[in-house]
Amino acid sequence: MSATTPAVVAALDRLGFDVRRDELDRDAWEADCPSCNDLSDGLWPLRITEMVPGGPPRLRCISRCDERAILTALELAAESADVAALRDRLRSGLRLLDTDRMAVTEPPKVPWLGEPLLARGAVTMLVGREGQGKSMLGLALAAAIGHGGTVAGIACRPGRVLVIDAENGEAEIHRRVRGLGVKPGTLVYVEAERFDLRADLRDVEALLAHYRPDALMLDSLRSLAPGLDENDSGPVEAVLGPLRGLSRRGNLATLVLHHAGKASNGYRGSTAIGAAVDLGFTLAREGDDPHRRTLTCWKSRLAAEPPPVTLSLKAGEGRIAVTAAAPARSTPAASRTDELADRLATIVADRGVLAWSELAALAGVEPESGTAKRARRRAIDDNKLAARGRGLYGPPDRSTVRPAPVGGVDGRTVAEDGEQAA
């Protein structure tokens, strides 16, 4: 313990804890305890005794709080010599965290740049089918950050954005930058040709070091990592892992645009893609309206999942408008279940047997949600999905499906029986 008695007394006073010198012992102080916050009437729970003038104190709390916990609460804790020596020997990227301090202090607030979509130090993935407006929404967010304004109900803090784009040509980029009213000096736009994140990450680091942006947008994963086997977790992590580290080290909000699978609005590729990001959203067309979109969260590591957002994307007369829209009339629960059941069936018909967690992720739903489980049951009941045991599901084997009995007992299929056995 390296803190001195005067340092402890000064820290208590600085942090607003009552502290006074003992009336009978001039080498001792009494105070409220910053660790347990014991405020017993008429008592001073913490006693601070100076054993040697100017030396480390003895701390005794009536609630038997640990001395190190008290010092941690006062931000005075020092590492023991053996822990400091161990820290010096760690060269592999392992970092010891001070959980004693965490246990007695409030955690930092989520550093939102655009709540609930973008946060500093975090990677967000925005997924959507082609033509749904992923790039448009991403650039609209960049414009809102530049102005410190709001887009589609998402309030953005002011800052600068770096965009690396391998999807849209210069002419289209010009139209969008102009149409969205980007504030000069707030957007750095880089067109990518013959670029690969796996080999050229140093170029990204050089751009970040020079421009010091608050956010980074990559459009898109497929185009910026050409030839990536999205279904193989190893290569996927080799791309997204360094991006995650880059975001955390640079306190950078990173937005990665990615394409949805053919069979659903869920992200395309291995579940390692979803595991590698902190926040995940899907942008999908709403009904037959060419302008309306629904933004749905499928992962939120930083906070509770926000409700879906309905927005409108319109372009015309040299202007692009991305605005919040009133939600459409709610679809009956039965219809939503049927739609999701059909989506599950389409995915397994396209991909074959999958683990339930992966199947649900590809469908864009939480595997343990009631909606997902009801849709799975509906798909099995309708002979569109079969349980394969051990949490695996695939297309039904038509040769094992029993016809529904006349007079209908329960109409269960062999596949459903298999699910019950599993």
At 295-318, the pLDDT tens digits run: 999 999 999 999 999 999 998 888
Q: What is the CATH number of the domain that holds 356?
A: 1.10.10
Q: Summarize the confidence of residues 124-141 as an average pLDDT.
A: 95
Query: Lowest-confidence range among 60-74, 164-178, 265-279?
Result: 60-74
357 and 216 co-located in one domain: no
Give me the amino acid identity at 333: A
128 and 264 co-located in one domain: yes
Domain of 396? 333-421
Written as six digits, the tokens of 363 are: 């469908």
Band (pLDDT 50/70/90 cuts) for residue 411 is very low
In a domain, 231, yes or no: yes
In a domain, 358, yes or no: yes
Tokens 């319109």 correspond to: 314
The residue out of 82, 102, 122 marking a domain boundary is 82
62 and 116 co-located in one domain: no
Give me the amino acid identity at 316: G
Alpha helix ranges (H) inside 180-312: 197-211, 221-224, 233-250, 271-276
Alpha helix ranges (H) inside 111-167: 134-147
For residue 89, what is the DSSP state? H
Specify the pTM. Answer: 0.66
Tokens 């279904």 correspond to: 231
In a domain, 91, yes or no: no
139 and 264 co-located in one domain: yes
Per-residue pLDDT for 364 more than 90? no
In a domain, 168, yes or no: yes
pLDDT attached to residue 3: 75
CB 363 within 8 A of CB 266: yes
pLDDT attached to residue 263: 64
65 and 156 co-located in one domain: no
Nearest to 124 by CA among 266, 256, 295, 276: 256
272 and 222 co-located in one domain: yes
Per-residue pLDDT for 264 more than 70? no
Written as six digits, the tokens of 191 are: 């067109």
| DSSP 3-state of 188 | strand
320 and 369 co-located in one domain: no
Q: Summarize the confidence of residues 68-78 as an average pLDDT.
A: 76
Task: Region of 163 please: left (phi>0), alpha (psi -120 to 50) or beta.
Answer: beta
236 and 351 co-located in one domain: no
pLDDT digits (tens, 9 = 90+) for 176-223: 999 999 999 999 999 999 999 999 999 999 999 999 999 999 999 999
Written as six digits, the tokens of 376 are: 């799975």
Written as six digits, the tokens of 260 are: 């949805």
In a domain, 120, yes or no: yes
Q: Summarize the confidence of residues 57-78 as an average pLDDT.
A: 81
In a domain, 96, yes or no: no
The residue out of 324, 348, 373 marking a domain boundary is 324
The residue out of 285, 300, 324 marking a domain boundary is 324
In a domain, 88, yes or no: no
| DSSP 3-state of 72 | helix
pLDDT attached to residue 304: 93
351 and 208 co-located in one domain: no
β pairing state of 392-394 and 354-355 = antiparallel
33 and 175 co-located in one domain: no
DSSP helix, strand, coil percent of the chain (3-state; round to 5): 35, 25, 40
pLDDT attached to residue 327: 78
CA angle 211, 213, 219 (to 5 degrees): 105
pLDDT digits (tens, 9 = 90+) for 138-159: 999 999 999 999 999 999 999 9
227 and 352 co-located in one domain: no
195 and 254 co-located in one domain: yes
Band (pLDDT 50/70/90 cuts) for residue 73 is confident
In a domain, 417, yes or no: yes
Domain count, the chain: 3
252-to-14, 246, 263 alpha-carbon distances in Å: 33, 8, 33
